[in-house]
Amino acid sequence: MKKYIDTGKKDTRSGFGVGLLEAGKADSRVVALTADLKGSLKMDAFAAEFPERFIQCGIAEANMIGVAAGLAITGKIPFAGSFAEFVTGRVYDQIRQEVSYGETNVKIASSHAGITLGEDGATHQTMEDVALMRALPGMVVLNPCDFNQTVAATIAAAKYNGPVYLRFGRPSVPNFTPAGEEFVIGKAIMMNEGTDVTIIASGHMVWESLQAAEALEAQGVSAEVIDIATIKPLDEEAVIASARKTGAVVVAEEHNMAGGLGELIAGVLAREVPTPIEFINGADKFGQTGTPAKLMEVYGLDAAHIAEAACKVIKRK
Amino acid sequence: MATSAELKKVSSQVRRDIVRMVANAASGHPGGSMSSADFLTALYCEVMNHDPKNWTRDGKGKDVFILSAGHLTPVYYSLLARTGYFPVEELNTFRKFGTRLQGHPSVEMGLPGITQASGSLGQGLSAAAGVALGKKLDKEDNFVYVMCGDGECEEGQIWEAGMFALHHGLDNLIAMTDWNGQQIDGTVASVSGEGDLELKWKAFGWNTIVADGHDMDAILKAFADAKALKGSGKPVMILFKTDMGHGVDFMAGTCKWHGKAPSADQCAEAMKQLEETLGDF
């Protein structure tokens, strides 16, 4: 199978910080807002380079979303950032009215998403955010898989005219996609071609899926791996074509079952090409305190569980 | 320059529009629309620097108005129509299927003059602060106006916006509160512990002006005073003391007409009390 090299672990939020600075240099309309989490969101470099265009909102996320919408009305391209839970669940109604229904060019920068936020525990670990943002008409939902892809996704979000939800994480994870590759919103990325089973993944689960595919290869199973970096709009064509080819699908995501990528893919396949499918996700549970690696293992969000699900779904063909 | 007497004639027509629109739709919010009709008439017909025929959503080079209390579409649409944003006849479509005059302000439907969607309360002050900050970043010299209800100020986000606007020195932001003391479930005093809004806004560090919201001279002075505070580094809150349902005796001073449509008979009775000055739609 195609070889992916981890060029050194990096956090995807740092990818956001780099992408934000680049986007800011390329377009003076880009502004950044945060609710007292400048350092956590890696906005320091942007704030230092463009102090006037960095807007500290204090611990008041609801107001931050409204201010971002107002700035967008005047032609700015605001990135409003906080932890995933606090820029989705806490402000769902504000995003719905000010950004989605209000049709403002606001980018929601959502860091520390999923269970890999780690030790802070369940109050901070949202695994419901994709469901909320997917439900909003017109909202683009991005969940890049590593540092390099997050840099590119941030730049693409700035160039795209319309609301974007950009999801990334806290821990250092393998950085394995090519640097400087253009991020195309709405396009699935074929990571590895295979014939026996399709593993569809987003975010941190893409690396785990590639590890699973390697393990499967050793067992003589050929796994196709697709990176769904854009959850909405979904590249249905890529999903359908792969399901037709392999006849078995595993969907892996760092998110709960309800409203996540798994249900999304299942819906498309049920309509177009009914296919046996297995799900790797956070089920219907809250997280808890622990290291990211420990939590991934305990909640079944790792390569071993993905490989197991692949073997299971192949038997159901 | 319009005189106070001329503006009062406009607001009389606006109140006729409000009652007729709500009666025609058999739904809507006449009470707060009528309490805010005088100062919003002054704003749209005299105070605000706007160009209805060439309006753009980004508000470049112009003053901007955002209605935070989004349910007050009757007064908002009437004033937009009466100042030339769209044909007055379109007021007939208020709250009807397919209309640009949605129950609450919609950007999606493309009605000229609507800068931001509203209806879910407590959010418009934040959006207005964002527009005001955008204008500051662009070194634009225009004002941003926003109107809130007093009941709406029970939303915590209003006070988040209050801290933000002061912290960022948004002295190009002029907010208005329709201080009519009423909300759906009763008087504001009976429903919540909101207390004295003047004291609260002062405590939040804002320039605060209190004015009689039905005295056109007082309204014009309040706006002039507010504009003169540009350069103070602080936003302005004008608290207009008003009566809900003002202008029609059986609708005034009560929360009962917050979100209730008058019957045909009640509408006819109301029309006897409100002078037709600009021709009904």
pLDDT digits (tens, 9 = 90+) for B251-273: 999 999 999 999 999 999 999 99
CB within 8 Å: A97 and B119: yes
Interface membership of A24 toward B (CB under 8 Å):
no
Residue of A nearest to B70 (CA): A97
A174 and A296 Cβ atoms separated by less than 8 Å: no
A208 and A116 Cβ atoms separated by less than 8 Å: no
Per-residue CA distances from A122 to A61, A119, A257 (Å)? 19, 9, 16
Residues 6+ away with beta carbon under 8 Å from B247: B12, B15, B34, B37, B273, B274
Residue of A nearest to B105 (CA): A102
Spatial CA neighbour of B7 closest among B277, B281, B280, B279: B277
Q: What is the DSSP letter of A299?
A: T
The C-alpha atoms of residue B190 and residue B188 are separated, in whole angstroms, by 5
Interface membership of A33 toward B (CB under 8 Å):
no
Beta strand A10-11 with A277-280 is: unpaired
The C-alpha atoms of residue A79 and residue A107 are separated, in whole angstroms, by 5
The DSSP H or E segment spanning A165 is strand A164-167
Contact residues of B toward A, CB < 8 A: 57-60, 64, 106-108, 115-120, 122-135, 137-138, 156-157, 160-161, 163-164, 167-168
Nearest chain A CA: its distance from B152 CA (Å): 15
Interface membership of A96 toward B (CB under 8 Å):
yes
Q: Which sign, positive or negative, has the C-alpha torsion A253, A257, A262, A268?
A: negative
**Cis peptide bond upstream of A233, omega within 30:** yes
Interface membership of A98 toward B (CB under 8 Å):
yes
Task: Please report which confidence band the pLDDT of residue B1 belongs to, taking 50, 70 and 90 as the band edges.
Answer: confident
Chunked into runs of 10 residues, chain A (317 residues) has average pLDDT values of 96 98 98 98 98 98 98 98 98 98 98 96 96 98 98 98 98 97 98 98 98 98 98 98 98 98 98 98 96 96 98 97
CB within 8 Å: A71 and B130: yes
Radius of gyration of chain A (CA): 19
Provide, as residue numbers in chain A, all residues whose Cβ is less than 8 Å from the Cβ of B115: 73
pTM exceeds 0.90: yes
The C-alpha atoms of residue A246 and residue A213 are separated, in whole angstroms, by 14
pLDDT digits (tens, 9 = 90+) for B83-109: 999 999 999 999 999 999 999 999 999
Provide, as residue numbers in chain B, all residues whose Cβ is less than 8 Å from the Cβ of A76: 134, 137
pLDDT digits (tens, 9 = 90+) for B195-241: 999 999 999 999 999 999 999 999 999 999 999 999 999 999 999 99
Residues 6+ away with beta carbon under 8 Å from B6: none
Q: What is the DSSP letter of A78?
A: E
Residues 6+ away with beta carbon under 8 Å from A308: none
Average pLDDT, chain B: 98
Residues in chain B: 281
Q: Which CATH superfamily is domain B4-273 in?
A: Thiamin diphosphate (ThDP)-binding fold, Pyr/PP domains (3.40.50.970)
The pLDDT > 70 percentage for chain B reads 100
Beta strand A197-201 with A249-252 is: parallel
3-state secondary structure of A132: helix
Query: Which segments within A254-304 are labelled E, that is strand?
Result: 277-280
Angle formed at CA B163 by CA B158 and CA B167, multiple of 5 degrees: 145
Nearest chain A CA: its distance from B119 CA (Å): 8
User: CA B190 from chain center: how many Å?
Assistant: 24
Per-residue CA distances from A171 to A21, A147, A294, B114 (Å)? 21, 11, 12, 43
Provide, as residue numbers in chain B, all residues whose Cβ is less than 8 Å from the Cβ of A78: 130
CB within 8 Å: B117 and A101: yes
Residue B75: is its pLDDT beyond 90?
A: yes
Nearest chain B CA: its distance from A317 CA (Å): 46
The C-alpha atoms of residue A274 and residue A243 are separated, in whole angstroms, by 9
pLDDT digits (tens, 9 = 90+) for B126-174: 999 999 999 999 999 999 999 999 999 999 999 999 999 999 999 999 9
The ranges assigned to domains in chain B are 4-273
Q: Which of A97, A107, A139 to mutate to test the interface with B (most CBs of B within 10 A)?
A: A97
Q: Which domains does chain A have, with CATH numbers?
A: 10-173 (3.40.50.970), 189-314 (3.40.50.920)
Nearest chain A CA: its distance from B123 CA (Å): 6
Q: Which sign, positive or negative, has the C-alpha torsion B37, B39, B40, B46?
A: positive
Per-residue CA distances from B180 to A14, A290, B197 (Å)? 50, 53, 12
Residue B179 φ then ψ, to 5°: -90, 70
CB within 8 Å: B123 and A98: yes
Provide, as residue numbers in chain A, all residues whose Cβ is less than 8 Å from the Cβ of B134: 70-71, 73-76
The C-alpha atoms of residue B127 and residue A90 are separated, in whole angstroms, by 17
| Four-point Cα dihedral A298, A303, A309, A313, nearest 10 | 170
Interface membership of A29 toward B (CB under 8 Å):
no
Nearest chain A CA: its distance from B160 CA (Å): 6
B235 and B170 Cβ atoms separated by less than 8 Å: yes
Q: What is the DSSP letter of A59?
A: S
Provide, as residue numbers in chain A, all residues whose Cβ is less than 8 Å from the Cβ of B118: 97
CB within 8 Å: A103 and B108: yes
CB within 8 Å: B135 and A74: yes
B21-44 average pLDDT score: 98
Positions of A marked catalytic: 61
Angle formed at CA A188 by CA A182 and CA A193, multiple of 5 degrees: 105
B187-202 average pLDDT score: 97
